[in-house]
Amino acid sequence: MKSVIVVVLASIVSAAVLAALHPGALGAQSPDGRAVFLANCTTCHSPNGEGGGPYPPLAANADVNQIDSANLIRVVLDGRTGPVTVDGTQYGGDMPAWRAQLSDAQIAAVLSYIRSAWGNDAPSVSPNQVAAAREPEALSGSAIFTLKCAACHLATGGGTVDFPALAGDAIVTSASPGSMLEIIVNGRTGPVMIDGKMYDGIMPAWPGQLTDADLAALATYLRTNWGNRAAPVTEKDVVTAGASITLRIGESLFANNCAACHGSAGQGGTGPALAGSPRVTSDDPGTMLATIMQGRGLMPSWRGQLSAGEVAAVATFIRSSWGNNAGPVTVEDVTAIR
């Protein structure tokens, strides 16, 4: 199993490094969401997103504008049969599945397009999120648990004398998933007293290995199995769970996507130093976010490559690392950039 993880990681990292070293090639590969829409979706949803007859509008549709994109990704991957009510009107028909026809990058691009066209205004969708959603959520949550967690906590979630049970655990099933996410993302070292028993081991951290969508799927699996009956966790819950989680996710995103050009300590390289850059630490993060979202010169555009939550996390990280000391960046700051 270890070798599977290593191979998967190696391929993710090498893809990221290749993309970083060949921004031109990256641009050439990333599909045009509008073109995907015009080629596949307009017979039913019409070119201006207004829909008609049994087909729901995508313009001014609250489902399409949700911050959390998990449901939309699933509808486009696997289709759905109505009825569905949009803005008080009921529509019914078959939305076809696109799993076999469209790649992760094409689905990410077309969703990013419909979430930003016709007055819609929602965070973009990244190919990583679509890749994670290709497996049903509970399944990918269980796959991640089997690969990374079951060795210590056991497949039954029952734990051992050294590792706490996650079945029935108060932190796992708490109304707010924040403390659990914090422990999964940052790791923790005992000693700690859980349910009257003392544990004194190391709960590892997972730098660079779990995306927002992975964490949502894993957390949902923990909270809904082995008799646990807590509410599922969405990507939005992960993105908004707290500063230390955001920072840790931002740190991994930076290492995987940015360090090749900006240096592992932000000291610069092909790209300028981010440590000490007045544009990075400016009170108004708009100029910096525009560079990240739109690209400039050799700096690739990350629109459609990273979700808005991921851009907020990496931007928060670079504003508060290596001696930089500026405030956090929110998802709303990112979606305000056109």
Q: Minimum distance between the CB of residue 141 and ligand HEC, rounded to whole angstroms?
A: 9
- Rounded Cα distance, 129 and 107, in Å: 10
Specify the 3-state DSSP secondary structure of 34.
Answer: helix
CB of 60 to ligand HEC, least distance (A): 11
Whole-number Å distance between alpha carbons of 269 and 263: 6
238-to-92, 128, 177, 249 alpha-carbon distances in Å: 33, 15, 9, 10
Q: Shortest gap between Cβ of 185 and ligand HEC (angstroms)? A: 9
| Residue 231 or 298 with smaller CB distance to ligand HEC | 298
**d(Cα 198, Cα 201) in Å, to the nearest integer?**
10
Shortest Cβ 216–ligand HEC spacing (Å) = 12
Considering beta carbons, is residue 110 or 131 the nearer one to ligand HEC? 110
Residue 52 Cβ, how far from ligand HEC at the closest point, in Å? Answer: 11
| Residues 6+ away with beta carbon under 8 Å from 248 | 185, 186, 205, 207
Considering the complex, state which of residue 94 and residue 332 has its C-beta at the smaller distance from ligand HEC. Answer: 94
Position of tokens 């998802």?
A: 331
Using the structure block, give the residue that is written with the tokens 């909270």.
Answer: 223
Nearer to ligand HEC, 23 or 240 (CB): 23
Q: Which residues pair with 197 in a beta bridge?
A: 194
Q: What is residue 193's three-state secondary structure?
A: strand
State the nearest-atom distance from the C-beta of 299 to ligand HEC, in Å: 3
- Least distance (Å) between residue 328 CB and ligand HEC: 14
Q: Which is nearer to ligand HEC, 132 or 258 (CB)?
A: 258
Q: Give the type of residue at 21.
A: L
- Report, in Å, the least distance between residue 313 CB and ligand HEC: 10
Q: Which residue is nearest to ligand HEC (CB)?
A: 82
Cα-based distances in Å from 187 to 21, 116, 170, 201, 223: 32, 36, 17, 11, 18
CB 261 within 8 A of CB 20: yes
| Percent of the chain that is helix, strand, coil (3-state, to 5) | 50, 10, 45
- Residue closer to ligand HEC by CB (options 172, 241) is 172
CA distance 78 to 88: 25
Beta-sheet strands, E only, within 108-184: none
Q: How far is the CB of 7 from ligand HEC (least distance, A)?
A: 19
172, 228 Cβ separation under 8 angstroms: yes
For residue 87, report the phi and psi dihedrals to the nearest 5 degrees.
50, 45
For residues 297 and 259, the answer to whether their CB atoms sit within 8 Å is no
